[in-house]
Amino acid sequence: MLAPADLLPEGSQHRLCRRLAHGAPPFRLDRARGGRGRWPVNLDRDDQHAVPPHAASPRRAADGRGGDGSPRRLAPKPLQLCQSYVSRGLLHARPDPGDPRRSLYDPHEVAALAERRHRSRARREVAASTTDWGEPILRSALTRIEGGRFFYRGQDAVRLSEGATLEEAAALLWDLPLPPGPWDLPPVTSAGSPFETGLRAVAREAARPDWAGQPERIAAGAARLLALVAGSVSGGAASTGPAHARPLHAGLAAAWGVGEAGADLLRRALVLCADHELNASAYAARVVASTGASLAACVLAGLAALSGPRHGGLTPLVRALAESEEVRHDPLRAFSARLARGEALPGFGHRLYPQGDPRAGALFAVLPPEGIWAEMIAAAAALTGLRPTIDVALAMLEQRLALPPGAGLAVFATGRTVGWIAHALEQRADGRLIRPRAAYAGV
């Protein structure tokens, strides 16, 4: 909740508002005041009604016309701009409990909006910016991220994770009724880590054409592919079979030797990982789907993208960080040294969630961080104000449940398979080939 005591220094408020009005790039907030850089901003002060440089100047005639006789065009005042942005849903305002005439704004939203306004509107520059957390580039009815929350087809994903299975999340995102189990699966041979085993299993299926026209056949193929990923990352023990038609999370729990409480944690994690809008792996899956490739090929593309250390591959890096000797000895000192060397803190800070990743928060609510995990989270907050992401929660889940090394990433991959399939189906229905152009920058 925003509080008046947390207001930015008045000079900072005024500068931020003027930069927003002028379309200037946002400046870095002064983290020395409080150390976290998450102050609300008051933009309703009277002295912020400054006229931008491109509006009327003192030299213009008093009759409302410029020196050349042309009509004078007054630019909107910062307060009017902010109110306009609120009405269009680009900013969110809260009344100041101490003064009902004032409003409080989230500085992260203001800075992000200022950055977007600063970008050139040239067509090529706008197109180039879309690949780097920029403007939306396609329409999707799958997942919406807004206000620190995310929704699967309009349903709050965190709330859904409290009781739904991954299969139920799949039926929602695919907009298809799932076929009843058991699902027939090919034999799976364990090969290295759980993730590597899943990658190899899907690769063997990728060349098979499976785009059937009937919804029931599409649903059967998608369900079979999801079960293949779940079965392969567990070494085949999680696969449903004639003797036991059980939920996928229960199969994973049995394969990894965790009890009922652990199975419920896996269920929640799987649902929370099911989709996350147009991330790198989802986009990779959509590109492949647009070519008409098989559903397994789309999932294979998603798995390949997920393996990178700037995506799902971050999860094993977080586990390694937590087990490093310097971090276990003194997390605050170790994190401070990393930052001094210009290194990032893997698993902390998400550009879509400046106030904290709701997926991590949902898992921490039922599995509170303890020991080194609590110390790492506290150290990151004290030094940077950054909060843990889903990668930290999955790494902690892997360690606390004594799962096989790499199981956290395997859970991520199994859950996200639902989203890759959903994106592939949606892109396939769109019917267009994704084929962007490149601006040649060579000699």
From the list 44, 96, 275, 391, the catalytic residue is: 391
The label of the residue with tokens 């491109």 reads: 54
* 311 annotated active-site: yes
In sequence order, what E strands does 127-172 have?
A: 143-146, 149-152, 155-156
202 pLDDT tier (thresholds 50, 70, 90): very high
Does 266 or 179 have the greater pLDDT score? Answer: 266
Helices within 121-162 (DSSP H only):
123-129, 157-161
The whole-number pLDDT of residue 274 equals 97
The whole-number pLDDT of residue 2 equals 41
Does 186 or 197 have the greater pLDDT score? Answer: 197
| Region 64-83 average pLDDT | 51
109 pLDDT tier (thresholds 50, 70, 90): confident
Is the pLDDT reported for residue 38 higher than 70?
no
Structure tokens at 179: 């076929």
Buried b (16+ CB within 10 A) or exposed e, 412-428: bbbbbbbbbbbbbbbbb
Rounded distance between C-alpha atoms, residue 256 and residue 266, angstroms: 11
* 49 annotated active-site: no
Sequence-distant (≥ 6) Cβ neighbours of residue 365 within 8 angstroms: none
The whole-number pLDDT of residue 137 equals 75
Which residues are registered as beta bridge partners of 156?
151
CB 288: neighbour CB atoms within 10 A? Answer: 25
34 pLDDT tier (thresholds 50, 70, 90): very low
- Each residue of 51-67: pLDDT tens digit? 333 433 344 334 444 44
Q: CA gyration radius for the chain?
A: 25
194 pLDDT tier (thresholds 50, 70, 90): confident
Rounded distance between C-alpha atoms, residue 106 and residue 24, angstroms: 18
Sequence-distant (≥ 6) Cβ neighbours of residue 324 within 8 angstroms: 334
Rounded distance between C-alpha atoms, residue 31 and residue 420, angstroms: 38
Q: What angle do CA 98, 103, 108 make, to 5 degrees?
A: 120
From the list 106, 350, 357, 423, the catalytic residue is: 350
Cα 319 to chain centroid distance, Å, stands at 20
Q: Of 82, 104, 95, 109, which Cα lies nearest the Cα of 8?
A: 104
Q: Give the predicted TM-score (pTM) of the model.
A: 0.73
The whole-number pLDDT of residue 183 equals 63
Percent with pLDDT over 90 in the chain: 50
Does 378 or 104 have the greater pLDDT score? Answer: 378
- Each residue of 327-379: pLDDT tens digit? 999 999 999 999 999 999 999 999 889 999 999 999 999 999 999 999 999 99
46 pLDDT tier (thresholds 50, 70, 90): very low
The whole-number pLDDT of residue 53 equals 38
Separation in Å, CA 134 to CA 30, 106, 277: 25, 19, 13
- Each residue of 9-31: pLDDT tens digit? 334 444 555 555 554 444 333 33
The whole-number pLDDT of residue 177 equals 85
From the list 96, 311, 357, 423, the catalytic residue is: 311
Sequence-distant (≥ 6) Cβ neighbours of residue 304 within 8 angstroms: 199, 284
The whole-number pLDDT of residue 3 equals 38
Buried b (16+ CB within 10 A) or exposed e, 31-49: eeeeebbbbbbbbbeeebe
| Region 123-147 average pLDDT | 73
Is the pLDDT reported for residue 8 higher than 90?
no
CB 80: neighbour CB atoms within 10 A? Answer: 12
The whole-number pLDDT of residue 52 equals 37
